[in-house]
Amino acid sequence: METLRNALDFSDFPRFDLLIAGLVAVFMLVFPLFPHSAFAMATMIQFLMFSLYGMGWNTIGGYGGQVDLGKAQYVGIGAYTTAVLLIRWDIPFWFSMPLGMCFAVLWSFIIGYPLFRLKGHYFAIATIATSLVLMDLFQVWDFVGAARGLEISPIKYHPPDWWRLIFKEDIYYYYVILGFFLLGVFYMNWFRKSRLGYQLRSIKDNEDVARSLGINVHWAKIKTYAIATAFVSMVGSFHACYIKNIEPEDTMSLDISILIALMAMLGGAGSLWGPILGAAVLIPLKSYLKEWLGATAGLAGIDLLLYAIIIMAISAIEPRGIWGIVEKIRRRKRR
């Protein structure tokens, strides 16, 4: 009961924020009913997906302060589980998604146990390494299509197929991912008020203090890492059905890991709205940049340049991102 109340209770935010959040929610619900371009729709779906990735990252990276640059490996595990199961045995999305989450969590325990013996930069580098190794493995593993990847051909099915999540129009995908997104927001609202949420913030503050308050630091990190993983893998499964064509390079590459972490940090690591704000800024920017400049040869890496500028801006101006700036201004006003 208290769990549900905590998930639904946003009353610790100022009314103004809730008004904005409500307006945005209404906009998102009715947006597809108005005329829109396919590009805008695709961008909105990307935004929702990356918000969810960011929320997952935010548990361990934001609240727990453990900078994780290997989230893409779990996108891959989710996407490949769903694609392989559908293509080989016609197992529908709603079974393969939880199964993918189980695989991802299992993998997260296997690598999390040793990895969380490391701290700070060493941890971040190790997460990059494990993600790259997994990507390389998938690139030579014939069972999952190796470097060619896998393709889900929609001709075999009869869209709209809710069971297998195969649709012709993007609007269906939009509402499915919006549902996940709203659940994600409620889950994160519960998470930040949970015992684990408080313990993580204490760990981020000072690990020795956390230990002396009865917190099993190593286990708390592993548990949280598993939660983050489950989030990411869930959206990875969705990615497989939505994109229908997955390759190791575009599900598990370092770019994606960095983009996930960067979004959450830009918006505000360790805050409820941070990952959403970050995705709202970065995803449209990235999409439009690609649209404008992508065709021009030689400017393909422009988005990487943009990330670099953002990283520098975050570390120089406010480590807690956009939300950190908002909170700073509010604190100053109150005094």
Partner 1 sequence: MTLLEVQHLTKQFGGLNANRDISFTVNKGELVGLIGPNGAGKTTLFNCISGLHPVTAGTILFDGRDITSLKAHEVARMGLARTFQVYVASGDLTVIENVMVGCFMRTRSRARARARAQEILEELNLREVGDSLVSELPVAAQKRVTMATSLGSDPKLLLLDEVAAGLNPSEIEDIMKNIRHIHNDLGITVMLIEHVMELVMKVSDRVMVLDYGRKIADGDPESIARDKNVIKAYLGERFVREHGEALA
**Chain residues that interact with partner 1, rule: CB under 8 A:** 2, 6, 193-195, 198-199, 201-202, 204-206, 208-217, 270, 331
Give least dist CB 132 to partner 1, A: 31
Q: How far is residue 234's CA from residue 177's CA, in Å, rounded to a whole number?
A: 10
Cβ nearer to partner 1, comparing 139 with 189: 189
- CB-wise, 210 or 230, nearer to partner 1? 210
First-to-last alpha carbon distance for the chain, in angstroms, is 36
Q: What does the alpha-carbon distance between residue 171 and residue 31 come to, in Å, rounded to a whole number?
A: 10
Q: Least Å distance between CB 122 and partner 1?
A: 20
For the bound state, the minimum distance from the C-beta of residue 213 to partner 1, rounded and expressed in Å, comes to 5
Tell me whether residue 44 or residue 196 sits nearer to partner 1 (CB atom). 196
Q: How far is the CB of 22 from partner 1 (least distance, A)?
A: 24
Between 6 and 139, name the residue whose CB sits nearer to partner 1. 6
User: What does the alpha-carbon distance between residue 191 and residue 168 come to, in Å, rounded to a whole number?
Assistant: 35
CB of 7 to partner 1, least distance (A): 12
Site of tokens 């684990």: 196
Task: State the maximum Cα–Cα separation within the chain, in Å, rounded to a whole number.
Answer: 64
* Shortest Å, Cβ 199 to partner 1: 6
Nearest residue (CB) to partner 1, 169 versus 205? 205
Instruction: Report residue 171 as tokens.
Output: 């609007």
- Would you state the structure tokens that stand for residue 212, as one six-digit string? 């002396």
Nearer to partner 1, 15 or 331 (CB): 331
CA distance 314 to 245: 34
CA atoms within 13 A on the CB side of 1: 0
Find the shortest distance in angstroms from Cβ 69 to partner 1: 21
With respect to partner 1, which residue has the nearer C-beta, 153 or 216? 216
Q: How far is the CB of 193 from partner 1 (least distance, A)?
A: 5
Residue 127 or 271 having the CB closest to partner 1: 271
CB of 58 to partner 1, least distance (A): 14
Nearer to partner 1, 139 or 194 (CB): 194
Alpha carbon 302 to its chain centroid, in Å, reads 22
